[in-house]
Copies of this chain bind each other. A is one copy, B any other.
Amino acid sequence: MQLGVCYYPEQWPRSMWADDAKRMVELGITHVRIAEFAWSRMEPRAGEFVWEWLDEAVAVLAAAGLKLVLGTPTASPPKWLVDAHPDVLPVRADGTRWNFGSRRHYDISSDTYRRECVRIVSAMAARYGRHPSIVAWQTDNELGCHDTVPSYSAAALARFHRWLHLRYGTVGALNDAWGNVFWSMEYPSFDAIGLPNLTPTDANPIHLLEFRRFMSDEVASFHCEQIDVLRQHAPDADLLHNFMGFFTTFDHYRFAEGDALDVAAWDSYPIARTESIALPDEQKARYARTAHPDVSAFDHDRYRAIGRGRFWVMEQQAGPVNWAPWNPVPAKGMVRLWAYEAFAHGAELVSYFRWRQCPYAQEQMHSGLNLPNDELSPGGLEVQQAAREIAASPALSALGAAERAAVAVVFDYETQWMFEIQRHGRSFDYQTLAFDYYESLRELGLDVDIVPRNADLSAYRLVVVPSVAVMDDALVDQIERSTAQWVFGPRSGSKTNLFAIPSTLPPGALQRVLPIQVLEVETLRPTLAPALSIGDTDGVALHWREHVRANGETRIEAQFDDAWPAILSHGNVRYVAGWLSHALHREVLAQAARQAGIATQRLPDGVRIRRRGELTFAFNFGPELAQAPAPAHADFVLGHAQLNTGDVCAWRTVGD
């Protein structure tokens, strides 16, 4: 349980640095991230490096006993670079070029820009790579943010051609694989293939998918070019990138493969996220000041998987922010709560954005731990409280590891891409469906691991697959060997790896363990909602519904009021033939957990619990006073069972 902060020495007079460092340490902060975005100060003119200010900043902070995370400055190429190489600017889907004047104005496929990045990162790493206080390096900042990936540039096209060539060998193979006979889309050569933008109607979905796969690889290789430099110069540091919440532009599992990173760090802005994602308006209002109870947890669990157990919150919201459609002030207690929540989910470090609110430029309405007049902000005061609590409690400061959960939820980036490319109905969104399943499990008091579709799932007792577009044989092999309960959501196995319908119909290979066939599917306008009941729970299908035929000995566990099956099962495998209203999802998962021998409890609205090491934490995100589900004589190490809005407590877990 360590606390950090993001700091931009270049934005403040040198005279403030030492005092800032001293106050950080006093507050209980151990880590400070600096230097990303500072390219124009490191290299004010091409090839003229100015390190003196950064040397001093590093020295001052290190002298105060702080550990440093250095960010590479490649998210903001300076103007002289853009003027010398205008082709580094990215191109929008409509063919216009983005301009200089904010950040992320670079084409991730530009060979020129990649060369420039290796150059600046090499210079920086050579100078600071072995500094004893620099414990970690971050590449770039929030890769893919602001829709600058994909870029529809000539550079992207040239690299896409090479990528396709490697993948398909001959253009004939590609034409066959893509089904380009359709609408005479056959290409005479790799060079004839274009980017899939500005087509009068839909481009071929496999064309779109391959472009997304390619772009995902581009993001990863851009990062890895910096990692290669950093590994060489900073062999002892943790290398990381700061990812974003609810962000699926690239495949984060694939990004993290090999030794691409040591820690998965991410930037957590729960209030703005709650305002931005597809939630019912009633929930956006209820949780406007606390954030939805699962919105951070979902990504904590996701990034714990991506970091193979190691994750940090690199930027944690410290007060109101500036970028959501509306930006309310968090409820009292939330800045403290979010820290404990992250730790409960396994975070090693929670680092706040930012030390002091910057009174000028784009983020002047983004709060920090200090107000622009340098007094601690309301959020800063809460961090102070949390730091003191942790320091005072051995149970909190020396928390055990986050153990494997009994329940796994498979989250798959390619499924997101495929169903974005082919929503089929305006309101279908895979990540939203996955979040609905996740929320259901969490409302039942369950800890959850999020895992990729190719994970080893043998140790889980319940595996939930909200959907997975492509049903690998390997996954079905795991099911065949498994005694766990398996729940599959709609559209599972609906596509091949080449974005086609399986020849045996969906759910494809899953039929080996669950003999059903999806004959027809439909998307549902909000006013068209087939009804159904599961046990005592009534509800409807939303967005999506399937007409499924049960073959063999498949059981129909529930059906819609027009007699089409809603839940089908065979052995330990369940299939849900539509997007069900929330209470039905919870009921299906409760039944499956029961069959898996996993105890569940229905938590009070807005309350969540999470076990870590020997402790169980409870959090209240709701506007009502609530009772934590602690046993009668629980041994509390933090707070107590009665939870106001924004309260947290923790007690020693005894059995389960």
Could you list which residues of chain A lie within 8 angstroms of chain B, going by C-beta atoms? 8, 10-11, 37-41, 44-45, 73, 76-80, 83, 90, 94-105, 145-148, 178-188, 192, 194-207, 275, 281-282, 284-285, 288-289, 319-320, 322, 325-329, 357-365, 367, 371-373, 377-378, 422, 424-427, 498-505, 517, 519-525, 527-528, 547
- In the complex the two chains form, is B372's CB within 8 Å of A505's CB? yes
Interchain CB contact (< 8 A) of A199 among B37, B99, B194, B378: B99
**Residues on B with beta carbons closer than 8 Å to the beta carbon of A522:** 320, 327-329
A601→B105 CA distance, assembly (Å): 58
**Residues on B with beta carbons closer than 8 Å to the beta carbon of A96:** 94-95, 198
**Residues on B with beta carbons closer than 8 Å to the beta carbon of A182:** 8, 11, 37, 358, 360-363
- In the complex the two chains form, is A199's CB within 8 Å of B98's CB? yes
**Residues on B with beta carbons closer than 8 Å to the beta carbon of A11:** 179, 181-182
**Residues on B with beta carbons closer than 8 Å to the beta carbon of A180:** 40, 361
- A40-B185, A79-B187, A326-B528 are known contacts. Are A360 and B500 too (CB-CB below 8 A)? yes
- Known contacts A83-B188, A281-B527; 13 additional CB pairs below 8 A are A76-B183, A78-B184, A102-B183, A105-B200, A146-B200, A182-B362, A205-B364, A320-B520, A327-B425, A327-B522, A328-B524, A359-B500, A359-B501
- A182-B361, A319-B520, A373-B504 are known contacts. Are A285 and B525 too (CB-CB below 8 A)? yes
**Residues on B with beta carbons closer than 8 Å to the beta carbon of A102:** 183, 185, 199-204
**Residues on B with beta carbons closer than 8 Å to the beta carbon of A505:** 371-373
A41→B504 CA distance, assembly (Å): 28
Please give me the residue from chain B that is nearest to A191 by CB atom.
B83
- In the complex the two chains form, is A192's CB within 8 Å of B79's CB? yes
- In the complex the two chains form, is A37's CB within 8 Å of B285's CB? no
- A378-B519, A525-B288 are known contacts. Are A98 and B325 too (CB-CB below 8 A)? no
**Residues on B with beta carbons closer than 8 Å to the beta carbon of A372:** 501, 503, 505
Interchain CB contact (< 8 A) of A377 among B186, B322, B499, B519: B519
Chain A residues touching B, majority SS: loop
A362→B102 CA distance, assembly (Å): 37
| Residue in A185, A327, A427, A521 whose Cβ sees the most chain B Cβ within 10 Å | A185
A426→B327 CA distance, assembly (Å): 9
- In the complex the two chains form, is A40's CB within 8 Å of B186's CB? yes
- In the complex the two chains form, is A41's CB within 8 Å of B373's CB? no
- In the complex the two chains form, is B521's CB within 8 Å of A184's CB? no
Q: Closest CB-CB distance, A647 to chain B, in whole Å?
A: 16
- A201-B102, A503-B359 are known contacts. Are A184 and B288 too (CB-CB below 8 A)? no
**Residues on B with beta carbons closer than 8 Å to the beta carbon of A422:** 365
**Residues on B with beta carbons closer than 8 Å to the beta carbon of A367:** 520
**Residues on B with beta carbons closer than 8 Å to the beta carbon of A197:** 99
**Residues on B with beta carbons closer than 8 Å to the beta carbon of A281:** 527
Interchain CB contact (< 8 A) of A326 among B181, B326, B523: B523
- In the complex the two chains form, is A198's CB within 8 Å of B97's CB? yes
- A45-B188, A325-B525 are known contacts. Are A179 and B360 too (CB-CB below 8 A)? yes
Q: Closest CB-CB distance, A364 to chain B, in whole Å?
A: 6
- In the complex the two chains form, is B320's CB within 8 Å of A361's CB? no
- In the complex the two chains form, is A521's CB within 8 Å of B320's CB? yes
A274→B147 CA distance, assembly (Å): 34
- In the complex the two chains form, is A194's CB within 8 Å of B101's CB? yes
A96→B96 CA distance, assembly (Å): 9
- In the complex the two chains form, is A185's CB within 8 Å of B79's CB? yes
Q: Closest CB-CB distance, A187 to chain B, in whole Å?
A: 5
**Residues on B with beta carbons closer than 8 Å to the beta carbon of A201:** 102-104, 145-146, 362
* A-B pairs, 10 with minimum CB distance: A179-B360, A285-B527, A182-B361, A40-B184, A359-B501, A102-B199, A360-B500, A76-B184, A101-B199, A146-B200
- In the complex the two chains form, is B184's CB within 8 Å of A501's CB? no
**Residues on B with beta carbons closer than 8 Å to the beta carbon of A205:** 361-362, 364
A108→B41 CA distance, assembly (Å): 37
Q: Closest CB-CB distance, A154 to chain B, in whole Å?
A: 14
| Residue in A77, A97, A103 whose Cβ sees the most chain B Cβ within 10 Å | A103
- In the complex the two chains form, is A100's CB within 8 Å of B528's CB? no
Q: Closest CB-CB distance, A380 to chain B, in whole Å?
A: 11
A358→B229 CA distance, assembly (Å): 48
- In the complex the two chains form, is A186's CB within 8 Å of B98's CB? no
**Residues on B with beta carbons closer than 8 Å to the beta carbon of A426:** 325-326
A204→B358 CA distance, assembly (Å): 13
- In the complex the two chains form, is B200's CB within 8 Å of A103's CB? yes
Q: Closest CB-CB distance, A197 to chain B, in whole Å?
A: 7
Between A and B, 15 residue pairs with Cβ closer than 8 Å are A41-B186, A45-B188, A80-B188, A96-B198, A102-B199, A105-B200, A146-B201, A178-B360, A285-B525, A325-B426, A359-B501, A365-B521, A372-B503, A377-B519, A377-B520
**Residues on B with beta carbons closer than 8 Å to the beta carbon of A365:** 422, 424, 521
**Residues on B with beta carbons closer than 8 Å to the beta carbon of A77:** 184
**Residues on B with beta carbons closer than 8 Å to the beta carbon of A373:** 503-505, 517
- A359-B501, A505-B373, A520-B367 are known contacts. Are A200 and B90 too (CB-CB below 8 A)? yes
| Residue in A11, A372, A378 whose Cβ sees the most chain B Cβ within 10 Å | A372
